[in-house]
Amino acid sequence: MNANLEQIKQEIISGAEELNSSKEVYEFKKKFLDGKTGKIGLLMKEMKNIAPEERANYGKGVNELKEWALGYLGELDVKMKAKELQDRYESEKIDISLPAVASEQGNLHPITLIRNQLIDIFSGMGFEVFEGTEIETDYYNFTALNTPQDHPARDMQDTFYLSPEFLLRTQTSAGQIHVMENKKPPIKILSPGKVFRSDDDATHSPMFTQMEGLVVDKGITLCDLQGMLDVFVKKVYGEGTKTRLRPSYFPFTEPSVEVDCSCFECGGTGCKLCKGTGWIEILGAGVVNKKVLENCGIDSEEYSGLAFGIGIERTAMLKYGINNIKHLFESDLRVLKQLND
């Protein structure tokens, strides 16, 4: 009888050598160890044919064989599975230098990016965002802004007219007049939007984007203008950036200034970007003209204001080094994809 057990053991040892996969190991194991049909399982059923005095010994022998087989084949299974895993990995060997599969994410237009950045800065200072209409009347675009019909400043901007009364706004300050008419100070508004002038070359587009800011309250001064723009310039162009005011002229401010910031390319020593001057012109600003406040029914003796206007395209072109304003309006994907700031 022991010989029979020994034979089964030998059968397992020799049979196992032929096995090539964990699946075969499983099937092989079943052949011997299945409780109802396996060879070792069936040995237990033989118990009734065994002499009673040998039963204990027989049972012990079968159990030992079963334990051994479980261990032996289990070990084989672990080895086989480890090999199979390794084989699978190896079969999936790749050339990691092949190109990446892109998951495409679009991006906001550079004008929107700059717009959002500026809105973020000025909302933190308490500015509301107000977008007026692109089509305005002559009154709101010019007359209310202290630019009467015969004013030479009207020559500064070539205006697109739609009718004798209606035009495409040349500045977003047109919308600010509507706000001042309907709201009493304190006023802090930021007006981003499309504006239009009859100009068309590498740095001028007939449509461009402006962001104008207006503060009306008691005791606003030129020093406040410089202070506020200092904060703005440092946030946009970096902490070390300096600002410089110099006299200029806009009909709706008096005094009027051009604001330059120290060149963020060379830091002020002079380079190609700043044309060797160390300064870059970034915006126009000033103390709101008394007449403009009065046109809106605001007491110009009690209140004063400051205003500034930033060209978004110019800011975007400076910031990203875009050489032609047309790139911003032609929707060339090769351009748009580069500007994922």
Partner 1 sequence: MLAPLSWIKEYVDVDITPQELQDKLFSCGFEVEELYEVGKDISKVVVGHVLECEAIPDTHLHVCKVDCGEHGEFQICCGADNVVAGGKFPTALVGATVYATAKDHKTVEGVMTIGKGKLRGYESFGMLCSGVELGVSENMYPGAGYNGLLVLPEDAPVGADVKPILGLDDWMFDIAITANRPDCQSIYGIAREIAAVLEKELKTPDLSYTETDATLEGFKVSVDCPELCPRYSAHYVTDVKIGESPAWMKRRLALVGIDAISNVVDITNYILKELGQPMHAFDCNDIEGNAINVRRANDGEKIVTLDGAELALTNANMVICDGVKPVALAGVMGGLNSEIKDTTSSVLFESAKFARDNIRKTSRAVGKRSDSSARYEKGVDEYATVMAMKRALHLIEELECGKVSSMHVDVNTGNSVEPRELTVSIKKVNDVLGIVVPNDDILRIMDNLAFAPKIEGDNLILQVPAFREDIENYPDIAEEVIRMYGYDKVVPTFIPSAKVTTGGLNLQQKSELRLKNALCSVGAYECIHYSFFSPSDLDLLRLPEDAVERTAIRLVNPISEELSLMRTTLAASMINAIVRNQKKGNLEGRLYEIGNVFMPKSLPLTEYPDERAKLCVGIFGEKESFFTMKGIAEKIADTLHVEFTYENMSNTFLHPYQTARIMCEGKEIGYFGKLAYDIASDCDLRTQVFILEMDLKELSCYYGKKPVFTPLPKFAEEQRDLALVVSKDVTCGQIESVMKEACKYITKISFFDIYEGEQIAADQKSMAFTVVFTPKDEAFTTESVDAFVKKILKQLNKAYGVELRS
- Choose between 69 and 233: whose C-beta lies nearer to partner 1: 233
**Position 131 contacts partner 1 (CB under 8 A):** yes
3-state SS class at 97: coil
> 55-114: which residues touch partner 1 (CB under 8 A)?
104-109, 111-112
Shortest Å, Cβ 225 to partner 1: 8
CA distance 244 to 233: 11
Options 24, 77, 134, 294; binder of partner 1; rule CB under 8 A: 134
Q: Give the number of other Cβ atoms within 10 Å of residue 126's Cβ.
A: 9
Shortest Å, Cβ 184 to partner 1: 11
**Position 127 contacts partner 1 (CB under 8 A):** yes
- Choose between 58 and 122: whose C-beta lies nearer to partner 1: 122
**Position 37 contacts partner 1 (CB under 8 A):** no
Whether 174 and 132 have beta carbons less than 8 Å apart is answered as yes
Whether 307 and 212 have beta carbons less than 8 Å apart is answered as yes
Options 21, 123, 323, 324; binder of partner 1; rule CB under 8 A: 123
Give the angle 151-153-156 at the CA atoms, nearest 5°: 140
Residue from 65, 84, 91 nearest 26 by CA: 84
Tokens representing 28 are: 């092989």
Q: Binding-site residue total for partner 1 (CB under 8 A)? A: 87
> 312-331: which residues touch partner 1 (CB under 8 A)?
328-331
CA distance 94 to 316: 42
Phi, psi dihedral angles at 339 (to 5 degrees): -100, 50
Contacting range for partner 1; rule: CB under 8 A; set: 28-36, 51-59, 87-95, 215-223? 215-223
Residue matched to tokens 């506020």: 228
The DSSP secondary structure of 36-83, one letter per residue, reads TTSHHHHHHHGGGGS-HHHHHHHHHHHHHHHHHHHHHHHHHHHHHHHH
Counting Cα atoms < 13 Å in the Cβ hemisphere of 196 gives: 13
- Choose between 221 and 269: whose C-beta lies nearer to partner 1: 221
> 146-175: which residues touch partner 1 (CB under 8 A)?
149-156, 160-163, 165-166, 168
Residue from 11, 38, 106 nearest 333 by CA: 106
**Position 299 contacts partner 1 (CB under 8 A):** no
- Choose between 29 and 188: whose C-beta lies nearer to partner 1: 188
**Position 129 contacts partner 1 (CB under 8 A):** yes
> 263-292: which residues touch partner 1 (CB under 8 A)?
287, 289-290
Options 188, 263, 311, 322; binder of partner 1; rule CB under 8 A: 188
Contacting range for partner 1; rule: CB under 8 A; set: 8-16, 53-61, 190-198, 266-274? 190-198
Shortest Å, Cβ 267 to partner 1: 19
Is the Cα dihedral 248, 249, 252, 254 positive or negative? positive
CA distance 214 to 81: 74
> 220-259: which residues touch partner 1 (CB under 8 A)?
220-224, 226-228, 230-231, 244-249, 251, 254-257
- Choose between 22 and 205: whose C-beta lies nearer to partner 1: 205
